[in-house]
Amino acid sequence: MKSLQVALALMTAGAIVAGCSQQPAVLWETTGLKTPESALAVPAEGFAYVSNVAGNPTDKDGNGFISKISLADGKVIALEWAKGMDAPKGLALGGGKLYTADIDKLVEIDPASGQILTKYDAPGSTFLNDVAADAQGNVYVSDSNTSTIWRLAGGKLEKWIDDPALKFANGLYVDGDKLIVAAWGAPGTSSKSAAAPANLLEVNIADKKISDLGDGTPVGNLDGIEPIGDDFLVTDWPAGALYRIDRKGKATQLLDLDQGSADIGYVPETGLLLIPMMMSDKLVAYKVK
């Protein structure tokens, strides 16, 4: 997700393969959310955290919050479980803490109580977006407006990579010694033109080298990313699409949705996929295996 006023991106011809005629089944829907952006499933606890922007994604209005939603049936456990944020987006658990990206801050939260523990400033950032944590407890956060990735290590948040090769990085997933990036693509030349479609990237965590995942064929304006087998489930926010992208970069479309399909959560053991639909204020659960 980049903006609530984004035109539909033009897909590169031949880059996407149509999926099977039978789309993944809807299991349940949760309505009454407020501009939900990210879902993080916690299967051991039976719930998901869902970030609610509750307005414009760049407004510092204090309206943002995080909900807890039952994985079994989508019932709201606590709508405003954690408050005191502006426009929280990506979510990740790392080192026993919950993290969310909030415009120009990385917010650290007690995952049990919802109490905000720390807010780390990211000076110069304007659209902190997705969050991912590695096995060592380091936390990565993308700034989609500046093609930058920040890293929290040892209690200090620092600019880790600032490189146009990140193609306005959005979704993040730590894959062993690599950071997989779902790129949004360069903005259009005017407010009415769509961003150029982009692809999945991989960053070598040790030396920060950036490369295309597979052949680098553009797919779309990519947002959420989760692993499925050896592939990745990826959303396209403006197109309202869900893709399965393999390691060669080949994309197969699984779902054709409304605009606003954002940062997904996935439970591989059960095939439960959670898609926040920002424009319709709901969270939709699918069965995807």
pLDDT in tens, 218-254: 999 999 999 999 999 999 999 999 999 999 999 999 9
| pLDDT at 6 > cutoff 50 | no
Can you give the pLDDT at residue 188? Answer: 62
Identify the helix (H) or strand (E) that includes residue 156: strand 156-162
Q: Supply angle C-alpha 168, 59, 157, rounded to 5.
A: 55
Confidence tier at 2 by pLDDT (50, 70, 90): very low
Average pLDDT over residues 253-280: 98
Going from N- to C-terminal start, the domains of the chain cover: 16-287
Can you give the pLDDT at residue 253? Answer: 98
Confidence tier at 87 by pLDDT (50, 70, 90): very high
181 within 8 A of 164, measured Cβ to Cβ: no
Alpha carbon 276 to its chain centroid, in Å, reads: 10
Q: Give the residue from 177, 160, 171 showing the smallest Cα distance to 201.
A: 171
Confidence tier at 16 by pLDDT (50, 70, 90): low
Phi first, then psi: give them for residue 278, nearest 5 degrees: -60, -40
Instruction: Report the percent of the chain where pLDDT is more than 70.
Output: 90
Separation CA 99–CA 243 (nearest Å): 26
CB atoms within 10 A of CB 15: 16
- 283, burial (CB in 10 Å: exposed 0-12, middle 13-18, buried 19+): buried
Instruction: Report the percent of the chain where pLDDT is more than 90.
Output: 88
Of 15-19, 31-35, 42-46, 121-125, where does mean pLDDT reach its minimum? Answer: 15-19
The pair of structure tokens assigned to 77 is 């456990």
Q: Mind giving me the DSSP string for 58-119?
A: T---S-EEEEEEETTT--EEEEEEEEEESS---EEEETTEEEEEEBTEEEEE-TTT--EEEE
Separation CA 213–CA 112 (nearest Å): 36
**What are the strands of the beta sheet with 139-143, ordered from one edge?**
128-133, 139-143, 148-153, 156-162
Q: What is the mean pLDDT of the chain?
A: 93
Can you give the pLDDT at residue 99? Answer: 99
| pLDDT at 159 > cutoff 80 | yes
Say which residues have a Cβ less than 8 Å from residue 151's Cβ, sequence separation at least 6: 138, 139, 140, 141, 157, 158, 160
Separation CA 273–CA 289 (nearest Å): 9
| pLDDT at 140 > cutoff 50 | yes
Confidence tier at 19 by pLDDT (50, 70, 90): low
CATH for the stretch 16-287? 2.120.10.30
Confidence tier at 7 by pLDDT (50, 70, 90): very low
Instruction: Report the residue count for the chain.
Output: 289
pLDDT in tens, 164-221: 999 999 999 999 999 999 999 987 654 445 679 999 999 999 999 999 999 999 999 9
Q: Please name the amino acid found at residue 157.
A: L
